[in-house]
C-alpha cells in the first residue's frame, strides 16, 4: 500500500525535477538532448591561426567543435559566451566544445593563451544564421 | 524498497537527465565567464642558446636569445602586447656585445574581425620568420640566411596600422612605420644595418608595409608582403634612396609529419649609385651597395617519429640562394663573394612540443674564385614557455 501511495508522488517529483534540470542546463547543452548527432567541426590551431577561421551554422543546430593544436598550448574562447577552454599541445589530444547558440549573429572566437609574437592574430568567427 | 518500484517513465527521465547533468559538469569546469575587467596575462617567452662552429674559426657558445612576452587587456577591445629581447646575454655600454631590444610593444584597438587598429612598436609583416620565430616552430639552429640578409629579421619599427581578416582565411596587415636608414646598408648584409629599431627614429619619411595571407585550408599558408620607404634622410644635401622589398612565401603541411616551405624575396634600392658616392665621401671606403638584392629558399622537413612518449624527431634539408649584389648601379661591379648559396641539413628532437634540440650543418658556396664561403656546424637548444 505504501508503494502504491508513493508512486504518483514520486512521478510528480521526477517530473518537476526534470523540468528544473532542463531549465538549468545551458542552452548549448540542451541541443544534445534534442539532436543526438551534432555536426562536428574540426579546428586546427597553430601559431598564429585557427583553421577554419570562419564557421557557418544555423541557429538552433548544435555543433561540436573539436580543436587540436599543431604546436603549443592555445586557448579557445568564444566571446560573449561561457566557452573558454585550453587546447592541449601537439599530440596531447583534442578539446571538444559543444556549442548551440540560440541567437543568430557573429560569435568571435580567439586564442586566450599567449602563444608567441603573433598571438593577437589568432581570431575567428562563427556566423549563426536563421 | 520504494525506490525499487519507480515507474518506468521516471527511470527513463533519470536515465536521460543524469547523463545530461554529468555531461554539463566537466564543460562547466573548463569554462569561465568573462567580466570584461582589466587583466594581465601570464608571462611567456622563449630562449635559445647555440654552439656555432664556423669553418676556420674556433667554436662559440652563445646564449642567443632571452625573450619575454607579456599582455594586458584594458578591456575586451583594448589590449597591450609586449616583447622584450636580450640578445647574446650581455649588454655593456659602448662595446660590441649583446642587445636589449623592445621588439614589440603595441596597443590593439579591436573593432571587428575585419578591421582593427594597432599602434606602437610593430614587427614588420614580412615573410615567414619575422612574425613567427619561436625556436620550436622552424627547422635549423639559426634562421634562414634569406631571413637574415635579404629580409632583415627580426625587423621591428615604431608605427601604426590596421589588420584583420575577411572572408574565409584572407588576412591582412597594413602599417606605416619609420623607414630604414640607407646610411647603414652594406654589401654583405644588405638592409640589415639600416633598421632604426624605434630608437629616436627619423620620421621625416614614413615607410609603408603590408602583407596579405591566405589561410583557408588546414596546413596551408600562402602569403605575400611588401615594404616601401624613402631611406636617404641622413645625407646633406638631401637625396632620396627609395627602397622597395617584395616577398612571397608558402608553408604547406600535407600530413602531420611533412612540412614544406618556400620563400622568395627581392629588394630594389633606387639611387644606389648616388648612395655609394655619398657614403664613399663620408667614410672613405666604397660600400658597394647593390641596386637589387635577391634571395629564395626551399625547405622540406619530415618528422619520422611523431607522437611517441619520448617526443618527436624530424630531419630537414633546405636550399638557399641569396645574393646581396644581385644588380649593381652603373659604374660598380658586384662582389662575387656575396653571391651565395647554401645547403642546410640537420635534425630536431622535440622532447616536448615546446622544446627543440637542434643540430644542422651548412654547406655554403659563393661565386667568388678567391674568397671561400665558410661551412658551419650548429647545435642549439630552444624552448617556449
Say whether A82 and B307 touch across the interface (CB within 8 A). no
Mean pLDDT of the region B142-166:
96
Residue B19 pLDDT greater than 80, yes or no: no
B247 part of contact set with chain A, CB < 8 Å: no
Q: What is the pLDDT of residue B26?
A: 35
Taking contacts as CB-CB distances below 8 angstroms, the residues of chain A near B16 are 33
Residue B378 pLDDT greater than 90, yes or no: yes
Over chain B, what HEC string results? CCHHHCCHHHHHHHHHHHHHHHHHHHHHHHCCCCCCCCEECCCEEEEEEEEEEECCCCCEEEEEEEEEEEEEECCCCEEEEEEEEEECCCCCCCCCCCEEEEEEEEEEEECCCCCEEEEEEEECCCCCCCCCCCHHHCCCCCCCCHHHHHCCCCCEEEEEEEEEEECCCEEEEEEEECCCCHHHCECCCECHHHCCCCCCCCCCCCEEEEEEEECCCCCEEEEEEEEEEECCCCCCCCCCCEEEEEEEEEEECCCCCEEEEEEEEEEEECCHHHHHHHHHHHHCCCCCCCCEEEEEEEEEEEEEEEEECCEEEEEEEEEEEEEEEEECCCCCCCCHHHEEEEEEEEEEEEEECCEEEEEEEEEEEECCCCCCCCCEEEEEEEEEC
Residue B2 pLDDT greater than 60, yes or no: no
pLDDT digits (tens, 9 = 90+) for B310-319: 999 999 999 9
pLDDT digits (tens, 9 = 90+) for B223-252: 999 999 998 877 878 888 999 999 999 999
Residue A51 pLDDT greater than 50, yes or no: yes
pLDDT digits (tens, 9 = 90+) for B8-17: 444 454 444 4
B299 part of contact set with chain A, CB < 8 Å: no
CATH number (domain holding residue A25): 2.60.40.420
Taking contacts as CB-CB distances below 8 angstroms, the residues of chain B near A62 are none
pLDDT digits (tens, 9 = 90+) for A15-42: 555 454 444 444 444 444 455 689 999 9
Place of cell 572572408: B167
Q: Which residue segment(s) compose the domain that A10 sits in?
A: 2-129
ipTM over 0.95: no
Number of structural domains found in chain A = 1
Q: What is the pLDDT of residue B39?
A: 76
Q: Which residues contact B26 (CB under 8 A, 6 or more apart)?
A: none
As its CATH architecture, domain B38-384 has Beta Barrel (2.40)
Smallest Cβ distance to B13: which of A18, A71, A119? A18
Q: What is the pLDDT of residue B35?
A: 53
Whole-angstrom distance, CA of residue B126 vs CA of residue B114: 20
pLDDT digits (tens, 9 = 90+) for B251-295: 999 999 999 999 999 999 999 999 999 999 888 888 999 999 999
CA torsion sign for B149, B155, B160, B163 is positive
Q: Give the pLDDT band (50/70/90) at residue A114.
A: very high
Say whether A121 and B34 touch across the interface (CB within 8 A). no
B163 part of contact set with chain A, CB < 8 Å: yes
Q: Hey, where are the domains in chain B?
A: 38-384
Smallest Cβ distance to A7: which of B7, B27, B171? B7
B280 part of contact set with chain A, CB < 8 Å: no
Residue of B nearest to A85 (CA): B30
pLDDT digits (tens, 9 = 90+) for B346-359: 999 999 999 999 99
> What average pLDDT is seen over chain B?
88
Nearest-Cα distance to chain A for B6, in Å, is: 7
Among residues 111-140 of chain B, which lie with CB inside 8 Å of chain A?
Answer: 113, 118, 123, 131-134, 136-137
Say whether B217 and A44 touch across the interface (CB within 8 A). no
Q: What is the pLDDT of residue B257?
A: 96
Say whether A14 and B10 touch across the interface (CB within 8 A). yes
Size of interface A-B (CB pairs under 8 A): 151
Residue B130 pLDDT greater than 90, yes or no: yes
Q: What is the pLDDT of residue A37?
A: 84
Residue of A nearest to B18 (CA): A21
B83 part of contact set with chain A, CB < 8 Å: yes
Residue B306 pLDDT greater than 70, yes or no: yes
Amino acid at each position: 500500500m505504501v508503494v502504491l501511495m508513493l508512486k504518483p508522488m514520486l512521478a510528480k517529483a521526477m517530473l518537476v525535477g526534470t523540468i528544473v534540470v532542463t531549465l538549468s542546463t545551458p542552452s548549448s547543452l540542451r541541443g544534445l538532448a534534442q539532436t543526438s548527432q551534432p555536426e562536428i567541426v574540426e579546428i586546427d590551431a597553430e601559431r598564429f591561426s585557427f583553421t577554419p577561421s570562419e564557421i557557418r551554422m544555423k541557429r538552433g543546430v548544435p555543433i561540436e567543435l573539436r580543436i587540436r593544436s599543431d604546436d603549443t598550448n592555445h586557448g579557445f574562447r568564444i566571446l560573449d559566451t561561457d566557452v573558454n577552454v585550453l587546447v592541449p599541445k601537439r599530440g596531447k589530444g583534442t578539446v571538444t566544445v559543444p556549442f548551440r547558440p540560440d541567437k543568430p549573429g557573429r560569435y568571435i572566437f580567439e586564442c586566450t593563451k599567449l602563444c608567441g609574437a603573433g598571438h593577437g592574430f589568432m581570431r575567428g568567427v562563427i556566423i549563426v544564421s536563421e | 524498497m520504494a525506490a525499487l518500484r519507480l515507474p518506468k517513465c521516471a527511470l527513463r527521465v533519470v536515465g536521460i537527465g543524469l547523463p545530461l547533468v554529468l555531461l554539463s559538469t566537466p564543460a562547466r569546469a573548463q569554462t569561465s565567464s568573462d567580466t570584461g575587467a582589466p587583466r594581465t596575462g601570464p608571462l611567456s617567452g622563449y630562449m635559445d642558446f647555440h654552439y656555432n662552429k664556423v669553418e676556420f674559426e674556433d667554436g662559440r657558445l652563445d646564449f642567443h636569445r632571452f625573450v619575454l612576452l607579456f599582455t594586458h587587456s584594458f578591456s575586451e577591445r583594448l589590449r597591450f602586447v609586449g616583447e622584450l629581447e636580450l640578445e647574446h646575454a650581455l649588454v655593456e655600454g659602448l662595446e660590441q656585445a649583446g642587445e636589449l631590444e623592445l621588439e614589440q610593444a603595441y596597443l590593439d584597438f579591436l573593432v571587428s574581425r575585419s578591421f582593427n587598429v594597432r599602434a606602437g612598436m610593430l614587427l614588420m609583416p614580412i615573410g615567414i620568420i619575422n612574425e613567427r620565430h619561436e625556436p620550436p616552430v622552424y627547422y635549423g639552429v639559426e634562421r634562414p640566411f634569406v631571413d637574415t640578409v635579404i629580409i632583415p629579421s627580426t625587423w621591428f619599427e615604431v608605427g601604426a596600422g590596421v589588420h584583420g581578416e575577411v572572408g574565409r582565411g584572407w588576412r591582412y596587415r597594413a602599417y606605416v612605420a619609420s623607414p630604414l636608414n640607407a646610411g647603414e646598408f652594406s654589401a654583405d648584409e644588405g638592409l640589415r644595418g639600416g633598421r632604426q629599431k624605434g630608437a629616436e627614429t627619423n620620421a621625416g619619411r614614413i615607410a609603408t608595409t603590408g602583407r596579405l595571407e591566405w589561410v583557408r585550408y588546414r596546413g596551408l599558408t600562402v602569403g605575400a608582403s611588401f615594404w616601401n620607404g624613402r631611406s636617404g634622410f641622413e645625407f646633406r644635401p638631401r637625396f632620396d634612396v627609395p627602397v622597395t622589398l617584395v616577398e612571397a612565401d608558402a608553408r604547406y603541411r600535407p600530413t602531420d609529419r611533412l612540412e614544406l616551405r618556400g620563400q622568395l624575396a627581392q629588394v630594389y634600392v633606387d639611387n644606389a649609385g648616388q648612395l655609394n658616392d655619398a657614403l664613399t665621401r663620408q667614410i672613405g671606403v666604397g660600400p658597394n651597395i647593390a641596386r637589387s638584392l635577391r634571395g629564395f629558399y626551399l625547405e622540406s622537413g619530415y618528422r619520422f617519429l611523431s607522437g611517441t612518449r619520448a617526443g618527436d624527431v624530424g630531419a630537414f634539408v633546405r636550399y638557399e640562394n641569396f645574393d646581396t649584389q644581385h644588380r649593381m648601379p652603373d659604374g660598380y661591379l658586384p662582389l662575387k663573394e656575396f653571391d651565395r648559396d647554401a645547403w642546410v641539413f640537420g635534425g630536431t628532437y622535440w622532447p616536448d612540443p615546446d622544446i627543440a634540440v637542434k643540430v644542422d650543418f651548412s654547406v655554403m658556396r659563393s661565386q667568388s674564385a678567391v674568397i671561400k664561403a665558410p661551412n658551419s656546424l650548429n647545435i642549439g637548444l630552444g624552448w617556449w614557455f
